[in-house]
Amino acid sequence: MGLEESAALIRTYELQFVPGLLQSEGYARAVIRLGNAGAAEHEIDQRVELRLQRQERLTGPDAPRLWAVLDEGALRRPIGGPEVMRGQFEHLIEMSKLPNVTIQIMPFRFGGHAAEGGAFSILRFPEQDLPDVVYVENLTGAMYLDKRDDVDTYLQAMERLCVDSATPERTVELLGDLLRET
C-alpha cells in the first residue's frame, strides 16, 4: 500500500477479480470473505474499510492516474451474486467517468494475449530517479520487481493489452451490456 500511495501512475491487469481500487463495497466484501473464510465479521469490516479508504485517493488532491485492464473473465465470474455484480458494474461505469481513470476490458473473443501469465500492476512514481515497480501478487505474498529488464517485459505486455483490449468507450458499452444481463 505504501508504494501505491506514492505512485503517480498505476497500471494494472486483472484476470480473476476486479482490481481493489475499483471494487464496490459489496464486491470487496465478497472477495475478502473468499480469502478469509474463518475471519470474524469485524475483521472483514476492517479489511473492507481499508480497501475503500485506498480508493479515496482516486478522487482526492494529487490523485494518481489509474489505467486498468480487466479480463472479461473477472467480470463474468459471479462474485457475491447478481445484486453484488450489478452494483459492481454500476460502480465501474461511474469510476470510468473520473478524468484520471481509464478502464478497458480484454474480451474473451480476442483469445490468447500478452498477459496470459497472470495479473500484475506497474507503479510509476513522480520522482524521476525512482524506477517503475512491478507488483505481482500470489496466494501467500507478493513479488516486487524493479530490474529494468523485468519491468520492460511487463510494460510491453501492458502496452499490448491496452492496444488489444476494447477501447475505454467500448468498455463502458460492454459494462452496460453486462449490467443488463445480470
Q: Residue 23 sits in a domain of what CATH number? A: 3.30.870
Pick the more confident residue, 68 or 139. 68
Q: What was the pLDDT predicted at 28?
A: 97
**CA distances for 156 relative to 46, 108, 162, 163, angstroms:** 36, 20, 10, 11
Q: Range of 46's domain?
A: 2-181
Q: What is the mean pLDDT of the chain?
A: 93
pLDDT at residue 126 above 70?
A: yes
How many structural domains comprise the chain? Answer: 1
What are the φ and ψ backbone dihedral angles of 13, each rounded to 5 degrees?
A: -125, 130
Indicate the pairing of strand 65-71 with strand 101-106.
parallel
* Dihedral over Cα of 177, 51, 151, 120: its sign: negative
What mean pLDDT do residues 132-149 have?
Answer: 89
pLDDT at residue 156 above 90?
A: yes
Three cell numbers written together for 59: 478522487
pLDDT, tens only, 49-107:
999 999 999 998 889 999 999 999 999 999 999 999 999 999 999 999 999 999 999 99
